[in-house]
């Protein structure tokens, strides 16, 4: 044990997150959010996708820039979610309406093969299997990851969605 009470070799968990933005300089916001994540203790950025322009889901609003990242984390899922929400706030995220425009959206998609349902967190993300704007970038960096509810690889899930409005930039 070291002085913090953690073992010197802490268990690292692989996680997948989705990133999105359609307000402000979206590309700069997304890049800065990745830098914030990488600078966060107990989080290591393992991989990131390209950015994709996608049509918005919900009320009329500008197109989104979306992407995904893989993280190694040494924190439990609820604490990781709190970190993601704090980073959203740091970048000006204000929650006005469901599926409304936003400066930054960070969604925890997968936390290893954990299946979890709490009042504030559901893993895997409950709508990821039907969203091309999530599956396209996730398949770029983790095509063989098995989504634990369906038992299908991300690349297989991608084959079942319409990707016509997801464009790599």
pLDDT, tens only, 143-154: 999 999 999 999
Residue 147 lies in a domain: yes
CATH number at residue 59: 3.30.70.560
Q: Could you tell me the pTM of the whole model? A: 0.90
At residue 96, the pLDDT reads 66
Q: Which domain holds residue 137?
A: 13-168
Domain count, the chain: 1
Distance CA 34, CA 31 (A): 5
List the catalytic residues: 93, 102, 105, 107
Q: Give me the torsion for CA of 17, 18, 23, 28, rounded to 10°.
A: 70
- Position 157 in a domain: yes
pLDDT tens digits, residue range 20-54? Answer: 999 999 999 999 999 999 999 999 999 999 999 99
Confidence (pLDDT) at 7: 40
For residue 24, give both structure tokens.
């402000």
């Amino acid at each position: 044990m070291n002085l913090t009470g953690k073992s010197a070799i802490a268990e690292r968990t692989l996680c997948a997150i989705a990133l999105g933005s359609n307000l402000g300089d979206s590309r700069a916001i997304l890049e800065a959010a990745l830098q914030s994540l990488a600078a966060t203790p107990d989080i290591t950025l393992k991989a990131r996708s390209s950015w994709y322009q996608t049509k918005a889901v919900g009320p009329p609003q500008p197109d989104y820039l979306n992407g995904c990242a893989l993280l190694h984390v040494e924190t439990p899922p609820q604490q990781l979610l709190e970190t993601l929400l704090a980073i959203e706030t740091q970048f000006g995220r204000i929650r006005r309406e469901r599926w409304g425009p936003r400066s930054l959206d960070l969604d925890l998609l997968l936390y290893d093969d954990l299946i979890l349902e709490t009042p504030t967190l559901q893993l895997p993300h409950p709508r990821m299997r039907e969203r091309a704007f999530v599956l396209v970038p996730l398949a770029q960096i983790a095509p063989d990851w098995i989504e634990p509810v369906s038992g299908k690889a991300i690349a297989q899930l991608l084959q079942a969605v319409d990707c016509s409005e997801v464009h790599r930039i």
